[in-house]
Structure 1
């Protein structure tokens, strides 16, 4: 190989390597992140084009939410009673009435009683028209009804829980009577005394069945049946077929 060829060969190698490395892309790195808090107040201006686009949809939703479904002669609040309230009794009775046909169609069996939680009631029902919006306000969560099969031991744990909590947790289908010293006097399920070797089907929310509100007596159930029925939707369906609601505080859970 002569000197010229040797020189050309090395020049080509040099140029090739130079081009390869000069075209190599180095990754980009974020060196600084900054931001600021923007408070949402009435000082923010709406965008007319967006507002005009949304307006018909908002109007339609409001029309649906505000359509009268039923009527309440008086305001109902979860603070109106000691161990049971009119609004709590209403909700528990709705769950019993709306869920049992679904459960029976799937299992051939009936629900024995219902248990919900006092804290799950998030709003009053005002005097006047009851609307879909009312149902969303009272029960804003996406809780579904499940039916949990429990033993008599678990049922006794549940009764002890209710006595200790001293709150108006909504129930239906069960009657609990306490003495004035808070000891248990009597329990009836569907009007009958508790049977030792029987299991009981309890309709409740999926939140409580997963031991929400420390309801640990729902752990390790005999069985659990999903209904795919939101409590809120049960309320709406019930209101649609009811002209005037008339719930009362009664003797389903009382202290003498």
Structure 2
């Protein structure tokens, strides 16, 4: 907590700042709780905690963003969940479909532990207020995206994109929706607003064409996805791989 005192000198109606004195008061456990305020917010806190801790699904195993080289079970789940929950929304609004999903490895902020999944789990995995946007990407943007993924050698979550790297990390194969990429076509790529605006150096996502903001927070769609399923059991697969020989 920062306390500031301001001294103002006056001459008739003209005022000027004379000096500023600041003092920092640390917020620690030594500060006394206001009993009236605590009593007022207690029922709200209990209601929120009850909602957050209600079981909505079950995790078959513990999933971490460090459990794979170029794709992870938790990353695959998140990208697939974005596609599954957002594609119907996008299709209803635009009569078009999402071609692929790209998220960022660093955006996964927690493991999912084996056992009960609650709404709090979604808040732990995705504590940010990032929303899904769909950006139209042309040929050069797609090439830049593939080069970025190949050069970073990191398990950025993807869905509907299959990328195979050769031993020297050059691109051996790249498919979208199981088909060879047509660089004359416009692909609609779902991502989040942070990445679209250049986060994690993904500047290639920015489009001069219309970007579609689905107004759907990733955290909320994860909760909706958890409620839709019974058991979470994603796996590491061949969507993004490196051939070592």
TM-score between both structures, scaled by the size of structure 2:
0.91
Higher helix proportion: 1
Relative distance call for 1:193 and 1:57 in structure 2 (3 A) is same
Q: Which residue does the alignment assign to 1:15? A: none
Q: Which residue does the alignment assign to 1:219? A: 206
Are the counterparts in 1 of residues 135 and 206 from structure 2 also a CA contact under 8 Å? no
For structure 2, the 5+ residue unaligned runs are 1-10
How much is the aligned-residue C-alpha RMSD, in angstroms?
Answer: 1.5
Q: Which residue does the alignment assign to 2:87? A: 100
1-structure distance, mates of 2:13, 2:195? 55
What is the CA-CA distance between 1:40 and the residue it aligns to? 1.7
Aligned pair partner of 1:174 in 151, 155, 161: 161
For residues 1-256 of structure 1, the aligned pairs below 5 Å read 31-256=18-243
Secondary structure of the structure 1 residue equivalent to 2:70? coil
Quick check: 216-225 or 167-176, which moved more? 216-225
Secondary structure of the structure 2 residue equivalent to 1:204? strand
What is the CA-CA distance between 1:35 and the residue it aligns to? 3.6
2-structure distance, mates of 1:35, 1:195? 61
Are the counterparts in 2 of residues 144 and 229 from structure 1 also a CA contact under 8 Å? yes
2-structure distance, mates of 1:206, 1:223? 14
Q: Which residue does the alignment assign to 1:10? A: none
What is the CA-CA distance between 1:169 and the residue it aligns to? 0.3
For structure 1, the 5+ residue unaligned runs are 1-23
Larger radius of gyration: 1
2-structure distance, mates of 1:214, 1:239? 30
1-structure distance, mates of 2:239, 2:139? 19
Q: How many residues align?
A: 233
1-structure distance, mates of 2:173, 2:19? 69
> Could you list the per-position Cα deviations for residues 18-53 of structure 1 after superposition, in whole angstroms to 9, with x for gaps in the alignment?
xxxxxx965666644434222222211111111111
Give structure 1 regions of 4+ aligned residues with deviation exceeding 4 angstroms. Answer: 24-32
